[in-house]
Amino acid sequence: MCLAIPGKITSISGEGFERTGKVNFGGVLKDVNLAYVPEAKIDDYVIVHVGFAINTLNESEANKVFEYLKEMDELGELDQGDSEQ
Amino acid sequence: MKFIDEYRDAESAKKYSDAIAKITTKPWTIMEICGGQTHSIVKFGIDELLPKNITLVHGPGCPVCVTPVELINKALKIASKPNVIFCSFGDMLRVPGTEKDLLSVKASGGDVRIVYSPLDAVKIAVNNQDKEVVFFAVGFETTAPANAMAVYQAKKGVIKNFSILVSHVLVPPAMEAILSSPECRVQGFLAAGHVCTVMGYEEYYPIAAKYKVPIVVTGFEPLDILQGIYMCIKQLEESRFEVENQYSRSVQEKGNEPAQNLIREVFKIVPRKWRGVGEIPQSGLGLNDEYIEYDAERKFSVEDITAEESPECIAGLVLQGLKKPYDCSAFGTKCTPEMPLGAPMVSSEGACSAYYRYRKYILK
């Protein structure tokens, strides 16, 4: 099953394997086990699969999809510049 | 909502689509591994945004779909026992065994319950001491940490009336099986983003090198898939065959180590039978000796059950990317989500259900 979705941690309780939190998925709050993301804090986004956070989402990496596009845009403009000469 | 809507932006999608068209000079065949990616591709029409000489082939990344019929039959036998509460993820309930499915066992009075998390099944065991609670542990590596935790907590809490029916499968051996088939046409892969979130992607380096195929770890939103395809095509056009990570907001090279540690604690690698493909060595997970009392197959003595597949269902060929769902004579007629002949029509990650939901007009 690859179906996992991002949500924002709003509260945390417990420790170790019993560490859980309330995670907000676009307005819906669910209890999520945070045992596998010991470094996750309140307001972090986590990726959740069958009630478990399997990683925290890295915001600076998240922007790379769009930075990549911008780079391609800029290269594209350079190409166009060349062909006009 | 953050981390979803941005990756569905139409203008950015068009830019990626144009960029792919610009760099593609030859025909290429790429396989996306994960059923979640297949659904995204079919739902958002991503394949229709690509130049005609790029072929997307759907892979076996649907754990429900690759669960062999005999395991369903074993589940049915256990679920039909009067003192059993049988817990499962939702889409396993309508996967047909040889004669029926779990939903019909429920309809006949069996206590079959849909759960969201394997820990819910453990809670049910705690609250029903007079019953045997069995969880149908189906999944790829993504689900293994959750199932491992359920068994670990059951053992720690000395919960004796809980067990799991294991149907865990691993991605890298499946990729090798596909690549080593003489009929394989796949030249590049979009690897499964959430499997790699757990496991990292170091296991893919030897595969890329041995078979000379680019492997791009890819997410699930339209922009993720388009960027993954772009990166894969770029490698193919440049004759490179490396492992790259498109889904870096969720995936690190080493993956999630606490999760991997618990998987290793509870499970060991075993041979597994894949529906429509046959047995692939070292391709699944089974319980370690210290946790064997939680193995439902043993507990309920259903190890010897076997089964025949439906002759008309071509699930195996669809799962290997050798046929498309609409190539099947039963697609949309004898086989629909309401009355499926095989698992890919039932599962939320199945290729057949994706085509049925989003591409009905292709029906001949």
CA-nearest of B14, B4, B54 to B249 is B4
pLDDT, residue A82, reads: 47
pLDDT band, residue A80 (cuts 50/70/90): low
ipTM (interface predicted TM): 0.89
Instruction: Please tell me what DSSP assigns to residue B88.
Output: E
Lowest mean pLDDT among B178-187, B261-270, B301-310: B301-310
CA-nearest of B341, B321, B255 to B62 is B321
Kindly determine whether residue A55 and residue B4, on different chains, have CB atoms separated by under 8 Å. no
CA-nearest of B56, B58, B359 to B226 is B56
For residues B31 and B338, which has the higher predicted lDDT (pLDDT)?
B31
pLDDT, residue B285, reads: 97
For residues B13 and A83, which has the higher predicted lDDT (pLDDT)?
B13
Kindly determine whether residue B194 and residue A49, on different chains, have CB atoms separated by under 8 Å. yes
- Give the residue on B whose Cα is nearest the Cα of A58: B249
For residues A72 and B199, which has the higher predicted lDDT (pLDDT)?
B199
Q: Which of B15, B225, B250, B251 to mutate to test the interface with A (most CBs of A within 10 A)?
A: B250
pLDDT, residue B159, reads: 97
In single-letter form, the type of residue at position B290 comes to E
- Give the residue on A whose Cα is nearest the Cα of B14: A69
Which residues does chain A have within 8 Å of residue B223's beta carbon, measured at their own beta carbons?
Answer: 65
For residues A61 and B245, which has the higher predicted lDDT (pLDDT)?
B245
CA distance B45 to chain A (A): 19
Q: Give the pLDDT mean for B78-100.
A: 92
CA-nearest of B111, B13, B34, B80 to A69 is B13
User: Are the C-beta atoms of residues B216 and B246 closer than 8 Å to each other?
Assistant: yes
Kind plus residue range of the DSSP H or E element containing B263? helix B257-266
Give every CB contact of residue B49 below 8 A, 6+ residues apart in sequence: B13, B14, B17, B20, B226
pLDDT, residue B347, reads: 81
For residues B244 and B10, which has the higher predicted lDDT (pLDDT)?
B244
pLDDT band, residue B362 (cuts 50/70/90): low
Q: Give the pLDDT mean for B130-157.
A: 97
Which residues does chain B have within 8 Å of residue A17's beta carbon, measured at their own beta carbons?
Answer: 149, 152-153
Cα B135 from Cα B148, distance rounded (Å): 12
Which residues does chain B have within 8 Å of residue A2's beta carbon, measured at their own beta carbons?
Answer: 34-37, 61, 140, 142, 192-195, 220, 349
Q: Where are the beta strands (DSSP E) in A1-85?
A: 5-13, 20-25, 28-33, 45-49, 52-56
- Give the residue on B whose Cα is nearest the Cα of A27: B1
- The percentage of chain B sitting over the pLDDT mark of 70, rounded to a whole number, equals 98
User: Are the C-beta atoms of residues B191 and B216 closer than 8 Å to each other?
Assistant: yes
Q: Is it the case that residue B272 has pLDDT exceeding 70?
A: yes
Kindly determine whether residue B89 and residue A69, on different chains, have CB atoms separated by under 8 Å. no
Cα B331 from Cα B336, distance rounded (Å): 7
CA distance B28 to chain A (A): 22
Express each pLDDT in A12-65 by its tens digit. Answer: 999 999 999 999 998 899 999 999 999 999 999 999 999 999 999 998 888 888
Which residues does chain B have within 8 Å of residue A57's beta carbon, measured at their own beta carbons?
Answer: 3, 249-250
Kindly determine whether residue A51 and residue B139, on different chains, have CB atoms separated by under 8 Å. no
Express each pLDDT in B278-310 by its tens digit. Answer: 889 999 999 999 999 999 999 999 888 887 777
Kindly determine whether residue A35 and residue B89, on different chains, have CB atoms separated by under 8 Å. no
For residues B137 and B68, which has the higher predicted lDDT (pLDDT)?
B137
Q: Is it the case that residue A83 has pLDDT exceeding 70?
A: no
Q: Give the pLDDT mean for B146-170.
A: 97
Mean pLDDT of chain B: 92
pLDDT, residue A78, reads: 53
User: Are the C-beta atoms of residues B102 and B64 closer than 8 Å to each other?
Assistant: no
Which residues does chain B have within 8 Å of residue A76's beta carbon, measured at their own beta carbons?
Answer: 19
Which residues does chain B have within 8 Å of residue A38's beta carbon, measured at their own beta carbons?
Answer: 258
CA-nearest of B351, B41, B17 to B221 is B41
pLDDT band, residue A81 (cuts 50/70/90): very low
Cα B198 from Cα A54, distance rounded (Å): 6
pLDDT, residue B1, reads: 52
Q: Is it the case that residue A84 has pLDDT exceeding 80?
A: no
